[in-house]
Structure 1
Amino acid sequence: MKLRLYSIVIIAVLTLVLPAVFLRGTLPQQTATEIDGLSQFASMQGVSLGPVIWREGFDNASTWALSGSIPAILQVNNSLSLKIVFPSRTTAQAISIFHNVSLPLDQGPIVTLGLQVSGGISYGVRFWGVTASNKPFSAWHEGSTLQHRRGLGIFETVSANLVSESSIPNPTLSLAGARITRIALYLEAAPLVSGTFSMHVSNLRANSVLMTKASSNEVSGNFTVLVADLGPSIATQKLYQVFVGLDIKGSTDLSYVPYFTTGAKVAAQGYTYVTKVATTYELALLSPLQINSSPLFAGNVHSSSLVVSAKTGEISFFRLNSISIRFFSTQSPRSASLDPTTSRDLVFYFFVFLFIIPAAMVALVVKVFKDEH
């Protein structure tokens, strides 16, 4: 009887396994495709801050306008101080101050603020401008690191690339003749947040940008950012990973973050890397899942770019050796549907699995016990 029971077990296992072996799943696995990011390489440039083109002197209170329904105290005397008492409310509250400027976008201005904001509230910086034909546009967008920043209660330095801030909400904006005409600083309190809060601004200026261009894949100098123009923008909806092989040298305290950008938007970001003692080579991994910041300097708004931004220190030499851009393969909609042949196979599978195999098992067991008795 034991021999027959073993036979039944073996037959049962084979009959259950064979349908799964021969009738496999019909949905294809998602794979990755890869392209060479250097196939349309255009140029390399090193970027650093240039001279100051505008600085706010904080010597005329009439040039600042306060906007909001909540009473506040604004003082301008070699610096700017804003003090406000937010009452307890069930809705969010905000107050803004505005200042007129004239900053040509074709100079690539970088605005830097030195400020301190009370803890417990948030703050932000926004810009507006006009085109060459005096058509107004907004130069800010939700999702920017300049919006809804948490007040820390300590002195901070905040920088904004006005070309990037203008280009993201206005992809077709022409920089020629366009300029930023207005800047706003705001404080905001979440619902049920109340108390006395303040903002102190001690520095507000704009710098031009200095660029060192190279037609090859390497550049030398003293830079805070390296930008490699990879050619026309690459669609990144299915972006998986970017691998970058590079050689880099710099100051002893150099640390840097690589970004892959499409236009002015960050599509993938790498970790923070430091230079090595034994070699200048680094293989960097960038991923869309790693995005938590954006570089101060971006690439061409009509191109895809690799941006290597110094977090500390300066870059003195950079060479781009390779860049592999990987995408999830695109599946056609019908790949998830069932064709008639597959449907017939599945019907046969369920018929065998649910009816024939159980019936055969019962028949075998009954026969074994009848023979024994």
Structure 2
Amino acid sequence: MRIRLRLYPILVILVLTLAIPTIFLRGTFQQKTVLEVDGLNNFSSLESVSLGPIIWAESFNNLTTWSLSSNAPGVLQLNSSMVLSVAFPLKSVPQAVTASRTLNLSLDKNPAITLTLAVTSGASYGIRFYGLTSSGTNFAAWREGSLLQHRRGLGTQETISANLVSEFLLANPKLPLAGSRITKLSLYIEAAPLISGKFSMKLTTLQANLIVTNKIESNRLNGNFTAVIADLGPTIQSQGLFQVFVGLDIKGSTDLSYVPYFISGASVLAQGFTYIPKVATTYELALLQPSFVNSSPLFVGKPSSSSIVVSAKTGEMTFFRLNSVSIRFLSSLSAPAQALSPANYQLLLFYYFIFLFVAPTGMIVLLVKVFRDEE
């Protein structure tokens, strides 16, 4: 009984030693909480979007419209397709060859470019656009980090589409859109350092289409369309964005699959999985997260708005209804005690010293003394 009574103070000291740092240090660092916002508070319209008629197409019969520039020998051939071939020697620096074509596409017409091509595996490639504003200022309508840059050659045919207005806005947010036009397209093949060999790009389709839209001030759409843009009003901040839940009803062709996006202007802030319509119900609650972003839709909303874009990956939609949009942010509590000030820093060091060194040492000494007394 004497041993148990003597051990009670030790147990109390142990509990206090473990609990006191939690009690007194819990407010030293910022804590996170989830703030939920109803994304439909400023909802204004739904817009159905599809590719319209072809306004221009490459015929691959006029070599003078193309030019070749590179720091490696390249060969450009036109014969019902464009073939860019290059033999990269072994070098310790990156190498590239570029083929360019003149264009004259007004951004006021909201055009989209579609290319069908195949690039040898082992090399990378990219697509870049250049143009002029209405005042004659040159601009580049491409940016590093875009999915159109440094793509891995697969050795198989791919179809790639680009919204020229979106590419312009993402690369030049301060330039005027009205009156601007795309005047040049460049395609390049590149090899990383110490990569050598023969590589090629075969382009079989190059065309521009109008983008056809139909906007209604309602939360539902009927018809045949490949994308839906829901205008959520003024751009919503992206800082601290955690998750977006979108409740929707959707119908479409038997091969329909679609991807939802949360977009601010032309920038993708969050993306969902690839969904297919359910058999038992038309309803879907889609989860979008910033960490899921690995693509961008062909169609986006207004530069000054945030939007939910639902883009068909295969097939097309025939019915769409937007039921709910829940936007969740991770916000930091802003209590003054949460900032790690110099005073808090010194106090933290003091607690570390006491509870990591002094308290354990004292407990060991106390235990030794107790058991010696018992002997």
TM-score w.r.t. the length of structure 2 is 0.91
RMSD between aligned residues: 2.5
Partner of 1:146: 148
Partner of 1:16: 17
Query: After the TM superposition, which of the residue ranges 59-68 and 339-348 deviates more from structure 2?
Result: 339-348
Question: Alignment partner of 1:90: what SS?
Answer: coil
Question: Alignment partner of 1:167: what SS?
Answer: helix
Any conservation in 2 of the 1:258–1:306 contact (CA below 8 Å)?
Answer: yes
> Displaced runs of 4+ in structure 1, greater than 4 A?
331-334, 338-365, 367-370
Which residue identity lines up with residue 166 of structure 1 in the other structure? Answer: F
Any conservation in 2 of the 1:247–1:282 contact (CA below 8 Å)?
Answer: yes
Query: After the TM superposition, which of the residue ranges 28-37 and 358-367 deviates more from structure 2?
Result: 358-367
Residue 339 (structure 1) shift: 8.6
CA distance 1:199–1:352, change in 2 (3 Å):
closer
Which residue identity lines up with residue 14 of structure 2 in the other structure? Answer: V
CA distance 1:182–1:323, change in 2 (3 Å):
same
Partner of 1:89: 91
Any conservation in 1 of the 2:142–2:171 contact (CA below 8 Å)?
Answer: yes
CA distance 1:9–1:273, change in 2 (3 Å):
same
Question: Alignment partner of 2:12: what SS?
Answer: helix
Any conservation in 2 of the 1:16–1:353 contact (CA below 8 Å)?
Answer: no
Which residue identity lines up with residue 24 of structure 2 in the other structure? Answer: L
Residue 347 (structure 1) shift: 5.3
Gapped regions of structure 1 (runs ≥ 5): none
Partner Cα distance (1:18, 1:175) in 2: 61
Query: After the TM superposition, which of the residue ranges 232-241 and 350-359 deviates more from structure 2?
Result: 350-359
Gapped regions of structure 2 (runs ≥ 5): none
Partner Cα distance (1:369, 1:218) in 2: 82
Question: Alignment partner of 2:136: what SS?
Answer: coil
Residue 364 (structure 1) shift: 8.0
Partner of 1:287: 289
Question: Alignment partner of 2:210: what SS?
Answer: strand
Which residue identity lines up with residue 17 of structure 2 in the other structure? Answer: L
Once the two structures are superposed, the pairs formed by residues 294-373 of structure 1 within 5 Å of their partners are: 294-332=296-334, 335-338=338-341, 362=365, 366=369, 369-370=372-373
Partner Cα distance (1:81, 1:345) in 2: 66
CA distance 1:183–1:363, change in 2 (3 Å):
closer
CA distance 1:328–1:83, change in 2 (3 Å):
same
Matched, 1:62 2:64: yes
TM-score w.r.t. the length of structure 1 is 0.92
Partner of 1:218: 220
Partner of 1:3: 4
| Identical counterparts, % of pairs | 51
Which residue identity lines up with residue 213 of structure 1 in the other structure? Answer: K
Residue 119 (structure 1) shift: 1.2
Residue 239 (structure 1) shift: 0.7
Which residue identity lines up with residue 271 of structure 1 in the other structure? Answer: F
